[in-house]
Amino acid sequence: MQMQIITLRASPSAHRLVPPLASASSSNLSAGRCFLLRPSHSRCRRPRSLRASASLEQEVKERADSPSPSAGASSQATRRDVRNIAIVAHVDHGKTTLVDSMLRQSKVFRDNQVVQERIMDSNDLERERGITILSKNTSITYKGTKINIIDTPGHSDFGGEVERVLNMVEGILLVVDSVEGPMPQTRFVLKKALEFGHAVVVVVNKVDRPIARPEFVVNSTFELFIELNATDEQCDFQTVYAIGLKGKAGISADNLADDLGPLFEAILRCIPEPRIEKDGALQMLVTSTEYDEHKGRIAIGRLHAGELKRGMEVKVCTPDDACRIGKIGELFVYENFGRVPVESVSAGDICAVCGINDIMIGETIADKVSGTALPTIKIEEPTVRMSFSINTSPFVGKEGKFVTSRNLRDRLYRELERNLAMKVEDGETADTFLVSGRGTLHLTILIENMRREGYEFMIGPPKVINKTVNGKLLEPYEIAAIEVPEEYMGSVVELLGKRRGQMLDMEASGPEGTSLLKYKVPTRGLIGLRNAILTASRGRAILNTIFDSYGPWAGDISSRDQGSLVAFEGGSTTSYACVNAQERGILFVKPGQDIYKGQIVGIHQRPGDLALNVCKKKAATNVRSNKETTVVLDEPLSYSLDDCIEYIQEDELVEVTPESIRMSKNPKISKKKNN
């Protein structure tokens, strides 16, 4: 039999004799993991469907049967009837749509049941914005095996959600667009998964796109694995090609099955079974929490050891050995698209627990007698800070129900119970709070949820969180990937240069005439950049960012070249005044709108602010004109909450109410300037 010598990256000195892949029998495909042997000098990834090596089966089996160092005296086992996976991807690469198809094909819904698109995006904001914000659990059953699925956010600002749920799974489905390939968020979530040692199944989605380039995408993904120092087992990922919207998948991009069967088979074949301590002391790490009006707080996590029963008394432990006694009120597991009450849950499954109303994320539900805490969840530090304060405008209390500092404090600190990536500190005054998050979008989602709940408050401009190390000032840097048509590339490069961006790479992208620019930019320089790039590219550029590291202070950055138009008198705006005001810039207001003194009513066409009167009325005279001059008012500029937060500068605020979003000058800073 022909023999082949390969060198594994993890141990350069070890040489193993193995038969070639072509000789692997089909019976070997059900081995615990998928391996593809590759020469150590190869930098090209070719998709293959046969992923087993007969000579490595014994090694995999021994590794699966060997006890974990943390097992102690308890027995180790695997649950062959369960798989726990998380679906991760860059934003808009189609993971939620893929989950929809998986649920439909698993007969979760009745044949006559009306099912909306993006089933997992149940939050109103998720549906409006078309993004996943909160991770969600569901499960399906395939050939007698229960597959717990966790749908995760794709935007880097919600990376804290991804970091939490990776504690509950043994493997991930990495969904990659067949044209764009690995993007910044792909790198982030993959790095976290590889650090946990999880197995990875790569799903190349949207292969039906006319400009799809699946082979390039697979090779780019393989290069990314190598850059992230993945092990040889992890680099040997199974590739599945899919059309999530149509519910089709296959092991070849040119030969897709009529359903997602090949994807389900890959999950069963390549994702390891949960390793459990069947006879060990009860341990469950709380990874997420929800709130129900009738059941109270619900703790969600994976049971690592022992058995959890309804009504049993348990110990709630923290890493600092501070424990308390609690009782399990109700117990649920995830089946199909909902929670199902059960009497007991075995180790290895994901479950939801009710009855412990003060439980927090990162705590451990353990055995009452001999239970110990599991390592807590570590989340990366926030990089952006904003000030929240009570509404001080003349219109305070007209639209909102919660306007006091006590209301604001309670709501912000309540958010910390679920949002581990966020921090809240008291500000300089009793009615001001400093809220830190992973990015402006992370904080904007909180603001939007609060205003829909009836809160009124003021928001200050976002500021980056700097560090001082060895006497040197460091600031956060991010990697920005910009897809832009070549005709607008010059304008975009100029914008990034002004914001202290350093070009890392430039290459032709998938669509014809489109380039992909990669920059390392200070986080300060990214604030307000999205709108500037959209303006420079006539709305055709796509900007994606991901936190990279802390680096030296880059110097002063000018983020806005134009000033604001500020109302120096309150009242109702008039057409006569707006006609004169629009000659000075672009207005945010229209005739008949109530405003107050100090409110920002437009963008000045020149640097510096300009105070004007947009409530002025035309004087009535006895002189009759032959014909009134017809003047057409320009359509006012409508800014969303995200746009307003990116627009404001140091001396400006955003007023947020359930019905309105206004910008104004900060009276405290204005007084300091005048004095």
3-class SS letters over 529-551: HHHHHHHHCCCCCEEEEEEEEEE
- Kindly report the CATH number assigned to the domain that includes residue 337: 2.40.30.10
Render pLDDT for 530-553 as a digit per residue (tens, 0 to 9).
878 888 888 888 887 878 888 999
The dihedral sign for the CA sequence 357, 362, 363, 366: positive
> Residue 655: its pLDDT value, please?
93
Place of tokens 């990162």: 362
pLDDT above 90 for 159: no
Query: Are residues 198 and 156 both part of a single domain?
Result: yes
Bigger pLDDT: 524 vs 47: 524
CA 122, 124, 125, 127 dihedral sign is positive
Degrees to nearest 5, angle at CA 147 with 141 and 149: 125
Looking at the chain, the whole-number percentage of residues with pLDDT higher than 70 is: 79
Instruction: Evaluate whether residue 41 is within a structural domain.
Output: no
Q: Report the share of the chain in percent with pLDDT over 90.
A: 13
Q: For residues 49 and 29, is the Cβ–Cβ distance under 8 A?
A: no
Query: Do 144 and 288 fall into the same domain?
Result: no
**Lowest mean pLDDT across 9-23, 194-208, 357-371, 486-500:** 9-23
Give the CATH number for residue 497. 3.30.70.240
* Element spanning 391, H or E: none
Least confident of 24-28, 178-182, 511-515, 603-607: 24-28
Of 580, 614, 579, give the one whose Cα is nearest residue 599.
614
Examine the domain organization and report whether 131 and 247 are in the same domain.
yes
Q: What is the mean pLDDT of residues 551-567?
A: 85
Q: Which conformational region is residue 218 in: left (phi greater than 0), alpha (psi within -120 to 50 degrees), or beta? A: alpha
Question: Which of residues 174 and 186 earns the better pLDDT score?
Answer: 174
| Residue listed under structure tokens 């204005």 | 670
The CATH number that applies at residue 626 is: 2.40.50.250
Whether residue 327 sits in one domain with residue 212: no
Q: Are residues 548 and 572 in the same domain?
A: no
Q: How far apart are CA 337 and CA 342, in angstroms?
A: 16
Calculate the average pLDDT of the chain: 77
Q: How many domains does the chain have?
A: 4
* Band (347; pLDDT cuts 50, 70, 90): confident
Which residue, 285, 293, 291, 348, is CA-closest to 318?
A: 285
More confident residue, 466 or 77: 466
Taking only the tens place, the pLDDT of each residue in 88-113 is: 877 677 777 888 888 887 765 444 44
What is the phi-psi region of residue 664: left when phi exceeds 0, alpha when psi lies from -120 to 50, beta otherwise?
beta
- Burial level of 494, CB count in 10 A (0-12/13-18/19+)? exposed
pTM for this model (two decimals): 0.69
* pLDDT of residue 390 exceeding 60: yes
Query: How buried is 456 (Cβ within 10 angstroms: 0-12 exposed, 13-18 middle, 19+ buried)?
Result: buried
More confident residue, 623 or 665: 665
Residue 410's pLDDT band (cuts 50, 70, 90): very high
Lowest-confidence region among 102-111, 194-203, 466-475? 102-111
Residue 350: predicted pLDDT:
86
Cα angle 233-239-241, degrees, rounded to a multiple of 5: 170
Average pLDDT of span 431-445: 87
Place of tokens 């749908």: 151
Q: Helix, strand, or coil here: 45? A: coil
Query: Binning pLDDT at 50, 70 and 90, where does residue 135 land?
Result: low
User: What φ, ψ does residue 643 adopt, rounded to 5°?
Assistant: -65, -40
| Mean pLDDT of the region 438-461 | 88
Residue 514's pLDDT is 82
d(CA 660, CA 636): 15
Residue 152, pLDDT > 80, answer no
Does 148 lie in the same domain as 251? yes
Considering the domain architecture, whether residues 269 and 338 belong to the same structural domain is answered as no
Q: Does residue 175 lie in a domain region? A: yes
pLDDT on residue 611: 92
Q: How confident is the model at residue 656 (pLDDT cuts 50, 70, 90)?
A: very high
Q: What is the pLDDT of residue 11?
A: 36
List Cβ neighbours of 59 (8 Å cut-off, separation of 6 or more): none
DSSP state of 453: T
Question: Higher model confidence: residue 61 or residue 295?
Answer: 295
State the Cα–Cα distance between residues 104 and 115, nearest whole angstrom. 9
Res 654 pLDDT > 90? yes
Is 305 in contact with 283 (CB distance < 8 Å)? Answer: yes
State how far the Cα of 98 lies from the Cα of 121, in Å rounded to an integer. 12
pLDDT of residue 424 exceeding 70, the answer is: yes
* pLDDT at 299 (0 to 100): 87
User: Could you tell me which residues come within 8 angstroms of residue 60 by beta carbon, excluding any fewer than 6 positions away?
Assistant: 31, 32, 33, 35
Q: Look at residue 599 and give its three-state secondary structure.
A: strand
Q: Which amino acid is at 600?
A: I
Dump pLDDT digits (tens) for 240-253: 999 888 888 899 88
Domain boundary residue among 313, 334, 366? 366
135: region left, alpha or beta (phi > 0 left; psi from -120 to 50 alpha): beta
- What count of other Cβ atoms lies within 10 Å of the Cβ of residue 131? 21
> pLDDT band for position 412 (50/70/90)?
very high
- 140, 147 Cβ separation under 8 angstroms: yes
Residues 115 and 209 in one domain: yes
| Neighbouring residues of 329: CB distance < 8 A, sequence distance ≥ 6 | 295, 310, 311, 354, 355, 356
Per DSSP bridges, beta strands 585-587 and 661-665 are unpaired
Is residue 262 domain-shared with residue 330, that is, in the same domain? no
Question: Vertex 121, ends 351 and 399: CA angle to 5°?
Answer: 110
Place of tokens 């950055």: 557
Closest to 46 in 3D by CA, of 231, 215, 201: 215
Stretch 324-338: mean pLDDT, rounded? 83
pLDDT in tens, 218-241: 998 999 898 888 888 888 889 999
Please identify, among 366, 392, 420, the residue that sits at the C-terminal boundary of a domain.
366
Residue 519 lies in a domain: yes
Task: With respect to residue 257, please indicate whether it lies within any of the assigned structural domains.
Answer: yes
pLDDT on residue 595: 92
Q: Which residue has tokens 């000098």?
A: 41
**What is the distance between the alpha carbons of residues 215 and 648, in angstroms, rounded to a whole number?**
45
Specify the pairing of strand 136-142 against strand 82-89: unpaired
Co-location of 498 and 532 in the same domain: yes
Environment class of 590 (CB within 10 Å of its CB; exposed 0-12, middle 13-18, buried 19+): middle
Query: Tokens representing 332?
Result: 């649920």
Say if residue 37's pLDDT is above 50. no
The C-alpha atoms of residue 258 and residue 167 are separated, in whole angstroms, by: 33
Per-residue model confidence (pLDDT) at position 282 = 87
Please check whether residue 32 lies inside any domain of the structure.
no
DSSP 8-state class, residue 428? S
How far is residue 648 from each of residues 375, 401, 420, 602, measured CA to CA in Å?
Answer: 41, 26, 27, 12
User: What does DSSP assign to residue 309?
Assistant: E
Q: What is the mean pLDDT of residues 349-357?
A: 87
| Residues 569/615, Cβ–Cβ less than 8 Å | yes
Band of pLDDT at residue 58, cut at 50, 70 and 90: very low
Beta bridge partner(s), residue 139: 148
Six token digits for residue 522: 């200070």
Q: Confidence class of residue 511 from pLDDT cuts 50, 70 and 90?
A: low
Distance CA 625, CA 269 (A): 86
pLDDT confidence of residue 4: 43
Would the pLDDT of 22 be above 70? no
Q: Is the dihedral of CA 176, 179, 181, 185 positive or negative?
A: negative
pLDDT at 469: 87
Q: What pLDDT score was predicted for residue 7?
A: 38
Domain end marker among 517, 552, 587: 552
More confident residue, 325 or 96: 325
Which of 262, 282, 258, 278 is CA-nearest to residue 270?
Answer: 262
32, pLDDT greater than 60 = no
Q: Is residue 127 part of a domain?
A: yes
Residues 303 and 236 in one domain: no
pLDDT at position 160 is: 60
**Full residue range of the structural domain in which residue 340 is found:** 276-366
Residue 59 has what pLDDT?
38
Does 281 lie in the same domain as 247?
A: no
pLDDT band at 320 (very low <50, low <70, confident <90, very high): confident
Report strand pairing: 199-205 vs 171-177: parallel
Q: By the 8 A CB rule, do 193 and 166 touch?
A: yes
Q: What is the DSSP string of 87-145?
A: EEESTTSSHHHHHHHHHHHTT-S-TT----SSTT--SHHHHHHTS--S-EEEEEEETTE
Give a yes or no: residue 280 inside a domain: yes
**Residue 381: inside a domain, yes or no?**
no
Range from 81-95, 158-172, 452-466 that averages highest in pLDDT: 452-466
Q: What is the pLDDT of residue 72?
A: 40
